[in-house]
């Protein structure tokens, strides 16, 4: 039994035939034996091929009737396959995005559960205990979310399977973790630690209003594809991030511990006097802020790590990072303007190297800082 609420706040108890079937499947030894081949990515890929075929369109109308989907909310078009229907787009104006910057909005249609993350980065989902480190495959990253919250947005098969960014900000490069594809129904979580076994993909976002957010998409049974749009320099609240192919699936967010504030207003003027006397000039503060902005782009950080090892030309950098020479040149220009790299010409090639050892020191201290307990 679970509780569901609509967009108007109406709540009701919900227990579906799918829930009961999965409870029996995951709750018995025989059922779990049947599951072993079903949760493999290869089976999901085979299912995906059928759902991409023209014959799969025969399942669309029965599904619409059974799920009670209002097709007036979606762009009118003819679907080439079931998956084409499954990833359908909403009609413009069918949904409005809450643009109040103080509201943390949902990235998708879902059933939402929120769990506290302990100071030891542990989180218990129903009866299963996870560590954030096992979920992310990174203990250093997990420590950044100690004392925060883990948000589980679970989509069922009849939900809209496109999802958005919950705030404006800058997104990091994404990391994909391969795995199996259990259903994300709570019945499975009672038996398997699905969120650390399933295929998943995550990235960080420096959001404008909620600090650093971790965004993770988790594949599920019959969901062989997590289809995200390419990473942009800047994203906007409500902008589409991507979609899942057929099946139920899950989005996980992790938010950091809230900053504690004073319970009463009391200004310590003696301390402020010392601070003001030591504070650098506005020009110096501005120049320092501009310098640290350069380190806010992961591509530029990757370039610097390559230059730690050797002096290389633009062609070498493009090959090493899997980028075009023009994209590399753009980042090198910014690094050179901020006196972090230097270059020299040798024939038709331009070689780049670190400007001085300060660069290595800044990066080394940054790495040491993020790895601290």
Highest average pLDDT, of 149-153, 185-189, 369-373, comes from 149-153
Of the pLDDT bands very low, low, confident and very high (cuts 50, 70, 90), residue 40 is low
Is the model's pLDDT at 93 over the cut of 90? no
Active site positions, annotated? 109, 249
Q: What is the pLDDT of residues 177-211, one digit of tens each?
A: 876 544 444 544 444 454 556 678 999 999 999 99
Can you read off the two tokens belonging to residue 304? 């610097």
Helices (H), 108-154: 132-136, 139-143
Mean pLDDT, rounded, for 102-111: 92
320 vs 265, more confident: 320
Chain-centroid distance of CA 370 in Å reads 19
Q: 127 — alpha (psi -120 to 50), left (phi > 0) or beta?
A: alpha
Chain centre to alpha carbon of residue 9: 27
> Which residues neighbour 73 within 8 Å (Cβ) at sequence distance 6 or greater?
90, 91, 94, 95
Q: What was the pLDDT predicted at 130?
A: 76
Q: How far apart are CA 109 and CA 350, in angstroms?
A: 51
Q: Is the dihedral of CA 323, 324, 325, 326 positive or negative?
A: negative
> What would the two tokens of residue 242 be?
């991507």
332 close to 341: Cβ distance less than 8 angstroms:
yes
Determine the pLDDT at residue 179.
65
**Alpha carbons 178 and 217: distance in angstroms, whole number:** 12
Q: Where are the domains of the chain?
A: 2-255, 269-370
Rounded to whole angstroms, how far apart are CA atoms 45 and 55?
Answer: 17
Q: How many CB atoms lie within 10 A of CB 308?
A: 12
pLDDT at residue 135 in the model = 85
What are the residues whose beta carbons fall under 8 Å from the beta carbon of 37, sequence distance 6 or more?
43
Handedness of CA 105, 83, 21, 34 (dihedral sign): negative
User: What pLDDT, on the 0 to 100 scale, is given for residue 365?
Assistant: 92
* pLDDT at 317 > cutoff 60: yes
The pTM assigned to this predicted structure is: 0.65
Q: Give CA 197 to chain center in angstroms.
A: 17
What CATH number belongs to 269-370?
1.10.10.10
């Amino acid at each position: 039994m679970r509780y569901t609420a609509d967009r108007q706040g109406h709540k009701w108890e919900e227990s579906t035939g799918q829930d009961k079937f999965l409870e029996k499947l995951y709750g018995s030894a025989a059922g779990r034996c049947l599951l072993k081949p079903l949760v493999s990515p290869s089976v999901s890929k085979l299912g995906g091929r059928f759902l991409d075929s023209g014959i799969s369109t025969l399942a669309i109308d029965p599904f619409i009737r059974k799920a009670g989907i209002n097709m007036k909310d979606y762009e009118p078009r003819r679907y080439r396959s079931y998956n084409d229907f499954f990833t359908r787009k909403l009609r413009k104006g069918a949904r409005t995005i809450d643009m109040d910057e103080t509201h943390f909005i949902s990235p998708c249609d879902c059933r939402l559960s929120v769990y506290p993350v302990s100071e030891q980065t542990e989180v218990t989902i129903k009866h299963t205990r996870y560590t954030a480190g096992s979920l992310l495959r990174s203990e250093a990253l997990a420590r950044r979310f100690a004392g925060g919250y883990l948000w589980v947005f679970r989509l069922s098969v009849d939900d809209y399977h496109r999802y958005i960014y919950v705030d404006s900000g800058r997104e990091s490069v994404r990391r994909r973790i391969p795995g199996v594809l259990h259903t994300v129904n709570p019945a499975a979580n009672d038996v398997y630690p699905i969120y650390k076994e399933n295929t998943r993909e995550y990235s960080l976002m420096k959001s404008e209003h909620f600090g650093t957010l971790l965004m993770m998409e988790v594949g599920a049974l019959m969901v062989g594809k997590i289809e995200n749009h390419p990473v942009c320099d800047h994203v906007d609240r409500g902008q589409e991030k991507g979609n899942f192919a057929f099946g139920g699936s899950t989005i996980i967010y992790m938010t950091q511990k809230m900053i504690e504030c004073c319970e009463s207003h009391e200004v310590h003027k003696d301390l402020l006097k010392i601070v003001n006397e030591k504070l650098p000039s506005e020009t110096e503060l501005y120049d320092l802020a501009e310098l640290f902005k350069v380190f806010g782009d992961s591509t530029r950080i990757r370039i610097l790590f390559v230059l730690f090892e050797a002096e290389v030309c633009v062609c070498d950098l493009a090959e090493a990072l899997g980028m075009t020479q023009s994209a590399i040149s753009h980042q090198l220009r910014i690094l050179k303007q901020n006196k972090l790299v230097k270059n020299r010409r040798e024939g038709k090639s331009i070689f780049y190297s670190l400007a001085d050892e300060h660069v290595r020191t800044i990066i080394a201290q940054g790495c040491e800082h993020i790895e601290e307990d």
